[in-house]
Amino acid sequence: MSTHSQTPTLSSNAASATSHELVIEAGRSERHYYLDLWRYRELLGFLAWRDIMVRYKQAALGVAWAIIQPVIQVTLLTFVFGKLAGMPDGGVPYPLIVICGTLAWQFFATAFSGAGQSLVSNTNLISKVYFPRLVIPMAALGVALVDFAITLALALPVILLLGPGIGWQLACLPLFILLGLLISLGAGLWIAALTVRFRDFRFITPFLMQVGVFVTPVGFRTDILPGWQSLLALNPLAGLVDGVRWCLLGGHTQLYLPGLGISLIVTAALLLSGLWYFRRVERQFADII
């Protein structure tokens, strides 16, 4: 069934220039939703820019905060895994192993946390205006991209100075950045939707971050644990971390392709299930939030 309506105007000339057609079709809501998502792309850009400006203009430390966190984490993980645990470095300076792992982890952590808390941070917007709610967690990923660009720009000189050299693998880095965005969005959609219904998830997210840094190979190489690589790959972040290391260290760490394949499959399942659950409960957001 289709219903057509036109916006009334004062003259026939104006009507021909400004009239629009609204089509309501049964069973086509999913298709129209993603068309709306494309139409609201400017809102997505505006929200992403707003979040970036708030993070760097209204914070006392500003851009420095994007540097302080990774530096502290690299120092601690190098001490724990490199000194106390005595994990082998495979001929690469151990701080570089941790720097590359931290770059990938911080990218995910910022994107995941931002997407997961995005809905409850935009309560007024959700309760008053219609737009595809998926715009909000997607916009939250912008801050993570800026953070990653800043830390990468600072890490590259150190990698060039201390590392074995950067090769053609660096050209593959955007693919792993995309992988990180998909992992963050899939996990973030689950947390964002669940946080609207169960506010306890605001406290679960920091706990997941604390545990996740140790079950993800941020502070050690997976290629020194050949018997565990497939199991570690069930955590899709293992493929992300290994890929970023491989890109930034010129291939001097192994990229375990079967494990990367497993990470891609888990990422696809996480993203599709996150989209499914988010869309399932989305129409209730305005009432609950």
12 in the same domain as 152: no
Residue 102, pLDDT score: 93
C-alpha pair distances (Å), 55 with each of 62, 76, 105, 108, 261: 7, 25, 19, 17, 35
C-alpha pair distances (Å), 29 with each of 35, 128, 179, 288: 10, 21, 28, 22
Is the pTM higher than 0.85?
Answer: no
82 in the same domain as 14: no
Whether residue 247 contacts residue 172, with contact meaning beta carbons closer than 8 Å, is answered with: yes
pLDDT (mean) for 77-93: 83
**Shortest CA distance to 249 belongs to which of 92, 103, 107, 104?**
92
Residue 62, pLDDT score: 60
Residue 103, pLDDT score: 93
Flag whether 180 is in a domain: yes
pLDDT (mean) for 227-252: 90
Flag whether 230 is in a domain: yes
Residue 60, pLDDT score: 58
Comparing 104 with 126, the larger pLDDT belongs to: 104
Residue 123, pLDDT score: 84
pLDDT tens sequence across 122-161: 888 887 778 888 999 999 999 899 989 988 998 999 898 8
Residue 7, pLDDT score: 40
Comparing 64 with 76, the larger pLDDT belongs to: 76
Residue 109, pLDDT score: 92
Helices (H), 81-172: 94-117, 123-128, 135-139, 141-162
244 in the same domain as 102: yes
CA 70 to chain centre: 17
Considering its fold, how many domains does the chain have in total?
Answer: 2
Q: Burial, 157: exposed, middle or buried (Cβ in 10 Å; 0-12, 13-18, 19+)?
A: exposed
Q: Is the pLDDT of residue 188 over 90?
A: yes
Residue 266, pLDDT score: 95
Residue 244, pLDDT score: 95
Flag whether 35 is in a domain: no
167 in the same domain as 25: no
User: Which distant-in-sequence residues (6+ apart) come within 8 Å of 273 by Cβ?
Assistant: 186, 190
48 in the same domain as 14: no
Range(s) of the domain holding residue 3: 1-29
Flag whether 34 is in a domain: no
70 in the same domain as 16: no
Q: Is the pLDDT of residue 6 over 60?
A: no
